[in-house]
Amino acid sequence: MGVLNVTPDSFSDGGLHLDPGVAVSHGLAMVQQGAEIIDVGGESTRAGSLSVLDEVEMERVLPVVEGLCRQGVTVSIDTSKPVVAEAAFSRGAEILNDVRACREPGMAELVAEAGCGVVLMHMLGTPRDMQLDPSYEDVVAEVEEFLVERMERVNAAGVDPSSIVIDPGIGFGKTLDHNLSLIRGLKSLTRHAPVVLGASRKRFLGTITGASSPVDRDLATAITTTVGFLNGARVFRVHDVASSRQALALTAAIVAA
């Protein structure tokens, strides 16, 4: 899953793809590198970020969604707003990637009606306050409990269980130790649904490796992708597709041998 942020303020690539033509070209380039899904987002969810108006988010994402879908690309829309999701579905998006796990009223029903796939992610609090003081008794167990509850909720709303994948929300209301524990404990989540790992370029990788710039964390991301695969994750949300595809190819070959 290639990350395509059409925002001015995302932590890694904010401002790079605001022009719809540039964004579509970048999405197509990621497909050439091996991305099977392009995840289009128009609202930053980095720590401390604020929500944007529905109209602003739609102005950013809809031309890009439409442009990629015309080229036959499988697109996921990264949003928590039902009105944005509905507009993206009408333009060809096939998957909802929701950091709020369909907690907004009507979102689960919308996904059911559209017959789309959905990524349910765990987040403690909101992007504005999630990193102020995240605390858990048992982070793996608590994230698992939350995601199972959300799966049951969207299933009750009519979403096909086979359309649901889950994301532990690396970096979303977690400390470095919480992130490492979740990656190590991914197998607990794979008992319930396929798992998405979204650790790409995140701050904890820089804390461990000393890579202060997000773009210098692609090697660390690829290594995390390998570890995630070995621990059961099967979808990887990354900025640099080529390095993670190489890591997955090598890891899968070794496992198969």
For the annotated catalytic residues, the residue numbers are: 202, 237
Half-sphere exposure of 147 (CA within 13 A, CB side): 31
Q: Can you tell me the distance from the alpha carbon of 238 to that of 215, in angstroms, rounded to the nearest whole number?
A: 11
Q: Which residues in 59-171 belong to E strands, given as ranges?
A: 75-78, 95-98, 117-121, 164-167
User: How far apart, in whole angstroms, are the C-alpha atoms of residue 72 and residue 75?
Assistant: 9
Tokens of 79: 């949003």
Query: Measured on CA atoms in the order 151, 30, 63, 217, is the torsion positive or negative?
Result: positive
